[in-house]
Chains A and B, each alone.
Chain A
Amino acid sequence: MATQQTRSIGRIAVAPSVLALFLWMIVPLAMTVWFSFLRYNLLDPNPACSLMTPGALLDAANRCMAGAANYYYFLTDPAFFKAMRNSLLLVFWVLVISVAGGTLLALLLDQAIYGRNAVRLMVIAPFFVMPTVSALVWKNMMMHPVQGFLAWITKSLGLGAIDWFAHYPMTAIVIMVSWQWMPFATLIILTALQSFDEEQKEAAQMDGAPPLSFFWYMIVPHLARPVTVVILIETIFLLNIFAEIYVTGSGGRAGNLPFLVYHYGLLSNDIGGASAGGVIAVILANIAAFFLMRMIGKNLEA
């Protein structure tokens, strides 16, 4: 629905964005893949194998080429297994908590209640808290074993204080991250609930559907889509959780894949190993992304 002229201007208008995103996506990724096959450590006193001396990378003895060694070391590093486990546990539990809690909260907020907007504001607030703040607030003020608010509650109940980050770092992180993401699920599911056709509701009332079957046959199918969207988008973000672990200093025991890559690269200066980890993270993310893209792509047709 446009003329040739507007279409060619359109192409020029899209070009900067496409170019920028193309470079942003392809250059670092290509370098990561390249590095992942190199023996490349920033602490090497004689860094023949570095970014700025590409010739050295191809020299005779190929002493820079690591082949699959980086992958071998990364994948056989016990830390990798732990990181993978932590990554998946984190994603799984946060999804369960945020989707279940978010759905219940959204259903509650969709009822006729006094001050709905005020409650809504309180419920979604955590989503706007920057990750570093929520990390410190939870670690110190909520979960501190001596002066933390939770410790005060458990002690008042006679349960004794729990040192969350010392004894249950994974649980602590899950609680914290769920607190941040449940509002997101709530907000999206609530938006979907409120878009439910009033006339359909009235038609169901006319048909005499009891509340439970109304929920099961009307609301649940209506929510299937937003819930899927929530799951997919949260998965993408949760796979990349970093600041919460970094700031609470729980990387040692609750560190996930991003943290391990960070540790390899910027703390141990093993560029090759970190890059191999990065490639693995990319592959994992792509599996999740594949399903999300299909969802959104379908939506685009409508």
Chain B
Amino acid sequence: MKTYDVIVIGAGINGLVTASILGKKGKRVLILESRDKIGGIASSMEFTPGFTCNVVHDTIKWIDPRLMKILDLDTNGLQLVEPEILRVNLGDNSEHITFYRDIDKTINSIAKYSKKDSKRWEDFISYIKKLSQFLEKLYELPPPVLPNLGIKEVLGMRSLLSPIRKHGSQGVVDLLRVAPMMMPELADEWFENELLRSCISTAGIHHLSFGPYAAGTGYNLLHQHVHSNGLFHNIKFVKGGIEQFATVLKEVAERFNVEIQTSAKVISINTDQNVCNGVTLESGKKITAKQIVSALDPNNTFFNLVGPSNLTPDFRTQINNIRYRGSTARVHFALNKLPVVKGVNNEHLKTVFSISPSIEYLERASDAAKYGQIPDNPYIEFVIPSLLESNFAPKDKHVLSATIQYAPYHLRDTEWSDSIKDQLKNNIVDTLEKVIPNIRSIIKHTYILSPLDLENEFGITEGNLNHGEMTLDQFMFMRPTISSSQYRTPINNLFICGPGTHPGGGLHGTNGYNAAMEILK
């Protein structure tokens, strides 16, 4: 029987990253993936004959530069498309602000609505850039063991000094001010135009169950702008579709002799007297290894695979208290023709659109989630991926993929069903109709994924794409719990590397990279 040094559970981006790095360092690694293909939520699929979509994510906000380097992703075939237009934020009556890669153009777009705001734009983005730089350094390190920080740990955090040297301790103070802020507070400090204010706020609520009036949305906004190089709402498309990112990683991994088994569902992480020694597959097969790394979320890793009775009471309580609360739904429309976005030039459609006329609009959408309902007027971000990947749809036909907030996993007094999904779909189409008047008539097919569907399809608890909400109480040394935030767990030889660890979600691979470094220690 083959023996492995390391078994990685889950072939999502972070699982692949950890496996590749460990493979590169000479470990014999096996990846076990329950689905029939790799990639996790970095997934593209044909959702109706002839039409393909990126199931969960259409874009990448940032990829850890260390990852690009160590796995040489550029030369190994990862092609990132950096669009000219980063985002178009749509308001009422064809009003919209366009965010360009070219800052001057963005300023012009803002100036249409407020001269004053346009003048502050450059200051604002350099402010955000400055604060994000602190996070960039923070993200490269495993979180410290708090509160009892030793000298060794402090020395290990030296790299944090470089942004402090650059920006002074005022920078730290600003970070401490902005991270706990709510969006209207940040907006009040900078801008007057509501369309601009709300567009900024959308970055703070990305994939959260909270609305813009929630403290801590400031942190989420900064998280979206790590490595964004001063570009607000920065995005990248992956050439070939989002799954291509995973495919490239898979090829890299295999080059380092990583073995990948798909349709290999792990049903238990086996422990004996608090030492982890292997896994059991659904087939009943047991595989042993010196170390096990789980890329799954904490709930799946510890409750479903290790089992609550193998956890100490305190740790079990901590794991049980992690909040997921997936609130994001996805909908994919197969369209008979190219949609016309009111007021937007057809040449400018290769980007992300958001519908957000005001902060209050976003907040009202979030109110529904608070009461376990679906919103009448959801917050929608959409992309037309078929414009970027011609093979995503037949000629002259198109795909429109939208991310919907807020669609709470926990509905009040009911559960997700086809009729509720229909209702949500209607609310989405009603909302889209305001900016794409002909949308209803060109929809050929609809594919909608509720948070429950996302949970079932991808095995992510409560459909939370970040494996745990990105809130300040689940940040850094608290992620996923104060006792397991260094990628190690209270169970010997069991490691975690998914987005449920520091620094959280997004297809950036930092979790996987940091985890690999800890395992190699």
Q: Do A and B come from one complex?
A: no
